[in-house]
Amino acid sequence: MSGYVEGILVILLLNVIFAYAVYWPLAAGQLNLGVAGFVGIGAYVSAYASNEFGIPPYIACVGAGFVAFALALVIAVPVLRTKGIYLALATFAFGQVLQSLFLNLEIVGGAAGYPVISYIGVGGIAVCTAAVFLITAFLDRTRFGLNMVAVHDDEAVSDLFGINVRAYQALAFALGAGFAGFGGALYGHHFSYIEPQNYSILFSISIVLFVLLGGTQTVVGPLVGAAFFTLLPEVLRGSEEWRYAIFAVCIIVIMIPRPQGLITSDQLSALRQFLVRDRLREERHG
Amino acid sequence: MADQPILSLDCVSKSFGGLNVIKNLSFDVRCGQRTALIGPNGAGKSTVFNLISGVFPVNSGRISVNGNDITNVPSRKRMKLGVSRSFQNIRLVQHLSVLENVLVGQTPRVTSLGDILYPIRMTSGSHWQCEAMEVLERAGLAAFARDHVGNLPYGVQKQIEIARALLGGADILLLDEPAAGLNPQETEDLSTRLHQIADSGTTIVVVEHDMQFVGAFCEYVVVLNFGEMIAEGTPQEVRRDPHVIEAYLGSDVA
């Protein structure tokens, strides 16, 4: 594999993890604009743990994911009291707080950045991305996923049917943060260097954008969105200075006919019905 | 205690700001008794349902179900204690299939982590799904099980709401205008279906404007006007009550 292809592949894999970090809160109806902060938490925790205490990188990454998860659970209590645009603002503010914390923490290099010694290659990242996707896809097929859709669509009715709405929202938020931290940790171990500038609001927004482009109704939406956002600029590389303009036009052209995102649940269920119809007919007559 | 009421409201009051929507309301529903809550628009019927199911807290008074005081029980836990409901405006989860919507209705009885993390949308044949399919079949909805709720006719969606409400395992089913917007054939089907449900031991309370439906289906009627009970009794008794005639038609007639 050439260095160029490998570089793109790693970014793609990490973007898929980040996409699921944003997908879970969105699945419960929350826009998390502070996701970059949780990515940073994961990156710094894992880097520090492996640098200072010699913890093996994979264990450090998973541990960093759990730290981000736990932090998000704590943060969820006050933050999830806000709704809609105010929730987005609160998470945005929290992301900014974290970024300035990284900037001022001299113990991990402050503004100068922090080198990460132990290395994780593309293969390891691929396995981790697959794990994040499988966990998400599995949870989506359980009652947990079912109830999450219910909470997203109608909080009042979900509550009457015995669903603990606040707990589900907090779990979705924390699960996303956990994935963000895990992905951030992998990033650090692959690129061997992390710095506070990486975890800005722009980073959060671009992840949210590609998840919205892919669609939040199904588990495959974020995957498609991440792939699209990572690969299209590369495909357009031929037309140097115009490529981001063309890229932006492509996004707008897609969003016009598909405001719900590229992949919707109607689409998938139509496909599923198309695939199982023959089988059902056989069962009925056989 | 056979004649203990299954649902009992005792001096319940509710106000929104300065507006007293429910004033000192008391009535009992006996086990198995098909009961209707009727009254002119704005009488507070839906508010009574919202108080019983816990959407709003009461200002004063007591609500009890099966002898348990549920006045201060959070709405999320009331279905477990026996009260389930449907909604005046259909409130199904539009992004889920019919079967999945009905599965959500089972939530009050799902307690173990294993059940929550069982991949129920990937497999078929678990006892939860069999039970849900059975209810759909009895309601004549089995053919729609895999369809998206959003694309189905209004009458079918109303039936799904009832099926979902049934699966919580509640003893009391509060139905908010189940016949509204249905054509005569659909209303008749609904009546048949509700009789089945009542016969299987569920106590049904309806809020309804369709008086023909109320007269045919209900054994007991509670009439509200401006948040107060103005009459109760059998449909025949209530129909002759001068207060009821006045509330519906004006004082000159009475």
Total beta-carbon pairs less than 8 A apart between chain A and chain B: 89
Which residues of A have a CB under 8 Å from any CB of B?
138-147, 149-150, 152-154, 156-165, 217, 265-266, 269, 272-273
pLDDT, position B125:
83
Mean pLDDT, consecutive 10-residue stretches, chain B (254 aa), reads: 80 92 94 92 92 94 93 93 92 92 93 92 89 92 91 90 91 93 89 93 93 91 93 91 86 58
Contact B122, A141 (CB under 8 A): yes
- For residue B117, the chain A residues in CB contact (below 8 A) are 139, 142-144
pLDDT tens per residue, range B112-153: 999 999 999 888 889 999 999 999 999 899 999 988 898 899
| 3-class SS of residue B25 | strand
CB–CB contact B107 A157 (8 Å): no
| 3-class SS of residue A88 | helix
Closest by alpha carbon to A35, among A71, A61, A10, A62?
A71
Q: In B153-183, which residue ranges form alpha helices assigned H by DSSP?
A: 154-166
pLDDT tens per residue, range A129-138: 999 999 999 9
CB–CB contact B54 A156 (8 Å): no
Percent of chain B having pLDDT more than 70? 97
CB–CB contact A161 B53 (8 Å): no
List, in order of start, the domains of chain B with CATH numbers: 1-82+204-254 (3.40.50.300), 85-169 (3.40.50.300)
Neighbours of B152 (CB within 10 A): 16
What DSSP string runs through B43-106? Answer: SSHHHHHHHHHTSS--SEEEEEETTEE-TTS-HHHHTTTTEEE--SS----TTSBHHHHHHHHT
pLDDT, position A284:
59
**H/E/C letters for each residue in B180-228?**
CCCCHHHHHHHHHHHHHHHHCCCEEEEECCCHHHHHHHCCEEEEEECCE
Neighbours of B200 (CB within 10 A): 9
Q: State which residue of chain A sits closest to B129, comparing Cα positions.
A: A143
List, in order of start, the domains of chain A with CATH numbers: 3-285 (1.10.3470)
Q: What share of chain A is helix, strand, coil (3-state, %, to 5)?
A: 80, 0, 15
pLDDT, position B195:
94
CA distance A139 to B118: 9
ipTM of the complex: 0.90
pLDDT, position A282:
61
Q: Which of B76, B85, B119 sits opposite A138 (nearest CB)?
A: B119
pLDDT, position A283:
59
Task: Judge residue A64's burial from the number of C-beta atoms within 10 Å of its C-beta, 0-12 exposed, 13-18 middle, 19 or more buried.
Answer: buried
Q: What is the pLDDT along chain A (286 residues), one digit of tens a residue?
A: 688 999 999 999 999 999 999 999 999 999 999 999 999 999 999 999 999 999 999 999 999 999 999 999 999 999 999 988 999 999 999 999 999 999 999 999 999 999 999 999 999 999 999 999 999 999 999 999 999 999 999 999 999 999 999 999 999 999 999 999 999 999 999 999 999 999 999 999 999 998 999 998 889 999 999 999 899 888 887 777 787 788 888 888 888 888 888 888 878 777 877 776 666 566 556 4
What DSSP string runs through A155-208? Answer: HHHHHHTT--HHHHHHHHHHHHHHHHHHHHHHHHHHHSEE-GGGGSHHHHHHHH
| Interior/surface letters B81-101, b for 16+ CB within 10 angstroms, e for the rest | bbbbbbbeeebbbbbbbbbbb
| 3-class SS of residue B145 | coil
Angle, CA A208 vertex, CA A203 and CA A213 arms, to 5°: 125
pLDDT tens per residue, range A30-46: 999 999 999 999 999 99
Closest by alpha carbon to A26, among A219, A161, A202, A270?
A219
B75: CB partners within 8 A, 6+ apart: A159, A160, B53, B54, B55
pLDDT, position B254:
46
Angle, CA A200 vertex, CA A195 and CA A202 arms, to 5°: 135
CB–CB contact A146 B87 (8 Å): no
Contact B70, B239 (CB under 8 A): no
**What distance in Å separates residue B250's CA from the closest CA in chain A?**
37
Neighbours of A277 (CB within 10 A): 11
Closest by alpha carbon to A122, among A111, A134, A113, A130?
A130
Question: Of all helices (H) and strands (E), which one includes residue B14?
Answer: strand B7-16
- For residue B107, the chain A residues in CB contact (below 8 A) are 143, 147, 161-163
pLDDT, position B95:
85
